[in-house]
Amino acid sequence: MAARTPPSASVPQSRLSDTEKMDGTGSWEAIEWTKNESLGRTISHGFSRFLLEAEEVIREGYGVVLVNTDEAGTLLVTNYRLLFVSEKTRDIIALGTMPLAVIEKFNKLAVKQTSGLRHADKPPVRRLLQVFGKDLRIIVFGFRARTKQRRAVYEALLSCTKPARLWDLYAFICGPSKYNGNNPKARLLDEYFRLLGISSYLQPSIHMIEEGSFTLSNIWWRISSINSNYTLSATYPFALIFPKSITDEEVLQASTFRARCRLPVISWCHPGTGAVLARSSQPLVGLMMNMRSNADEKLVAALCTQFASGKEGRRKLYIADARPRKNALANGAMGGGSESAANYFQSEIVFFGIDNIHAMRESLSRLREYLDTYGTTSSDGMSSYLRHGGSSWGGGNLSSMSTSVSTLGDSGWLIHVQNVLAGAAWIAARVAKESASVLVHCSDGWDRTTQLVSLTSLLLDPYYRTIKGFQALVEKDWLAFGHPFSDRIGLPTLSGSGNTPVELSRQSTTGSFHSPSIRQQSGSFTQPSGSSHTHSSNSYSPIFLQTFLVEFLDCVLSCRFGNFLCNSERERQQFGVSDACGCLWSYLAELHSSDGQSHVHFNLFYDPMKHDGPLLPPAAALAPTLWPQFHLRWACPKEVEAGDIEAKCRSMDSKLSDLQKAKDAAERKTWEVTAAMESLASELRNEKQLSSSALHLAKNASKENAAIKRAIQSLGCKIHFSGSGDTTIDVEHCGTESPHKSFYSLSKQQSVRKLPSDEKSDLSISIGLMHNDDLPTDSFTRICESLCPLHSPDGRCRWPEAGCAQIGSQFVGLKANFDAFDRLSIDDGYF
């Protein structure tokens, strides 16, 4: 590729053409490589908002360029990860952020400028740092010249990515924090109890484990404590399920006939038919394939119980050897090999042809190089196939990429995945359709065997398709049964039975993975001697990567939690991992509880009512393509986002959930407003009732006042009502004598009827009495006889206490005796 003469340093970035930016004159060239002064240093605590608990910054590099995306920023090396923060957005760039445990190897590279075209102010060499990830990433960082930042970052990576001891990992430094988990042994027993059908009335406990009282059984199978101290097999769990007819003594005898004493044990059993899925390692039949073990043959035969339906005869047994046949025969030279159907009752041997860990490792290396070559974020920072206008990935459909499909096929990755899927589907069909028992093994029984058994269980048992069940499946078949995670992902582990951790050895340039050929850009790349560091362990292999979810893979590779440390249950117990480290299941449970059904692990398309039995996929479904959410997430992130229908549905479901929450909040607010309005209406009705009652009382009081006034006036007296406060009676004697006034005060509390609350004043009465001489004699008699309702026909008064005022024998009026009034209920009917 012809190099372009870079523009002058004075040319502003905004004036650069798109072609110039693609050719390396964009943000990559914006870094002034010749200046020695450093950029304005950002204090490390300014990035504290990005750090996890107990995460500390060890080294910082400023003005660093992420070559894959031509972004400038700050590169931090912490005790947990490489952290790249964009200078533009001041946020984490996911592509440039990688946990230290995920780093497989890293190289110091140099790119030399073509001498005739190099700008006078440019240095002859650019300093690069290339990092290879176990998650299919290849990222390259560019550093400023003569700042020694690359050296500082490189040395920090040397010390941090090469832990001498297991407890130097971040999981131990961070501790359990808020992600505490219960005892993994109790979780394993809980799953065993479910398989035996006794979980409904019995729950495992630490006390039960310590006493060994978990050795329970049903009509076919039993839980044994023979390996409680890991003396039977160091890589098996403390509790094992065997046929009920096999004693512990026979178990001991059978264990010597299998590699690493990983004898046949039951991993899953059908609750209705009695069929089982068992696992083991290869038998030690030897080079001539003629070695036998009566105890092993009896144990395997016991897996074929009678049919639960009462059908005559015994069920068939399939022995599924995950290896290619030639590999199984070759293992005979080292004492291993495969079974002979003639030696095992009613059995059939099947080989699945799945390659070993070394083939998987090389295949992943080729796949990573393929993705880096054709991805949009290529590690060389130049225009890739897709940047030149090639077809899009189509959400994992690579058929349109005619120029590169052959390269993908050469990697062999999809063939390996297809073999594993086909094997699991075949085993599930035998168990579901024939009610047959299947014994699965490979060489050691912890890699391909684990893949097949776990995937088959997922197809057969709907419980394992739930969040809780999936956790139980991982803990049982991957963790408890000894998949060597530390070896497979390249971590420190125990050597033999001692306590001395073994360092991760690294070597220069000649690792298990190849560095992809670096394509030239404006010069040529060179690699200084001794600058490549990689895992040299021959046990590293992406076995777990072929099987499980992105979240699980990231947690396994990053070593943030302790669940996947070490190689076996025994080693994790010896290190006290469950007490010293955080638990992945607690972390995921928190995510699920906070996000509800919108969390990334929730399958929106899965109907548990429709798929409540075994899943038996057709052959067409066993032709896999690249997994976009994992394989393409770094190489083609935009294409993955555009083609991820599930993510779109999840986003829509999240929005729908938010709208539902808003609707519920609005309905609650409406209810509150309605309740408040009803309360106010009720108060208003009460006020109206009180007002009506007060008005009625006022009307009655007015009527009574009018009646009193008429009665007194009819007696020839003058009466006056006023609201001056107290009740006042004025009696005036008309005639020759001087007027005489009589005053009487009556408080409101002494009145006959209480006035309404809004009438504050009391009643005042003024009565005037005329002199005897001014009144006709017979008039008083007539008044008394005709008007007084208390005057009886016989001339007697029925109200003597009223104290009628008389002159002589004549009735002249009422004496102001209000005590009598208090005892008299005056009504209009009296007058």
pLDDT in tens, 311-363: 777 789 999 999 999 999 999 999 999 999 999 989 999 999 999 999 999 99
Helix 645-714 with 777-787: angle, nearest 10 deg: 140
> Could you give the CA distance from residue 575 to residue 577 in angstroms, rounded to a whole number?
5
The predicted pLDDT at position 121 comes to: 55
pLDDT in tens, 262-280: 999 999 999 889 999 999 9
Total count of residues recorded for the chain? 831
Catalytic residue among 160, 261, 304, 442: 442
Burial string for 269-303 (b: 16+ CB within 10 Å, else e) reads: bbeebbbbbbbbbbbbbeeebeeebebbbbbbbbb
> Could you give the CA distance from residue 99 to residue 827 in angstroms, rounded to a whole number?
100
Tokens for 798? 């029925």
pLDDT in tens, 139-152: 999 998 888 999 99
Task: Give CA separation, 271 vs 39, 313, 316, 472, 714, in Å.
Answer: 68, 19, 17, 17, 108
> Could you give the CA distance from residue 277 to residue 436 in angstroms, rounded to a whole number?
9
> Could you give the CA distance from residue 744 to residue 819 in angstroms, rounded to a whole number?
12
The predicted pLDDT at position 462 comes to: 94
The predicted pLDDT at position 41 comes to: 43
| Lowest pLDDT segment from 163-167, 345-349, 466-470, 553-557 | 163-167
Under 8 Å between Cβ of 111 and 125: yes
Average pLDDT over the chain, rounded to whole?
Answer: 77
Q: What is the DSSP string of 466-506?
A: SHHHHHHHIIIIIIITT--HHHHHT--EE-TTSS-EEP--E
The predicted pLDDT at position 683 comes to: 92
Contacts of residue 713, defined as CB under 8 A and 6 or more positions apart, other chains included, come to 719
> Could you give the CA distance from residue 831 to residue 818 in angstroms, rounded to a whole number?
18
The predicted pLDDT at position 236 comes to: 98
CA contacts within 13 A on the Cβ side of 193? 18
pLDDT in tens, 418-470: 999 999 999 999 999 999 999 999 999 999 999 999 999 999 999 999 989 99
The predicted pLDDT at position 406 comes to: 62
Choose the most confident range, by mean pLDDT, from 499-503, 544-548, 621-625, 670-674.
Answer: 670-674
Under 8 Å between Cβ of 273 and 435: yes
Nearest to 821 by CA among 705, 697, 698, 733: 705
Nearest to 99 by CA among 85, 76, 81, 84: 81
Under 8 Å between Cβ of 240 and 265: yes
Q: What is the DSSP string of 226-276?
A: TTTTS-S-TTS-S-EEEETT--HHHHHHHHTTBGGG---EEEEE-TTT--E
Task: Give CA separation, 381 vs 27, 75, 149, 565, in Å.
Answer: 11, 18, 21, 35
The predicted pLDDT at position 634 comes to: 87
Percent of the chain with pLDDT strictly greater than 70: 68
Asked about 442 being catalytic, the answer comes back as yes
Tokens for 169? 């990992």
pTM above 0.85, yes or no: no
Contacts of residue 797, defined as CB under 8 A and 6 or more positions apart, other chains included, come to 788, 790, 791, 804
Q: What is the DSSP letter of 4?
A: P
| Lowest pLDDT segment from 109-113, 194-198, 509-513, 594-598 | 509-513
Burial class (CB in 10 A: 0-12, 13-18, 19+), 477: buried
Q: What is the DSSP letter of 21?
A: I
Bridge partner residues of 86 (DSSP): 73
| Average pLDDT rounded to a whole number, residues 207-217 | 93
Under 8 Å between Cβ of 65 and 31: yes
Residue 189, SS3 per DSSP: helix
| Lowest pLDDT segment from 105-119, 475-489, 494-508, 686-700 | 494-508
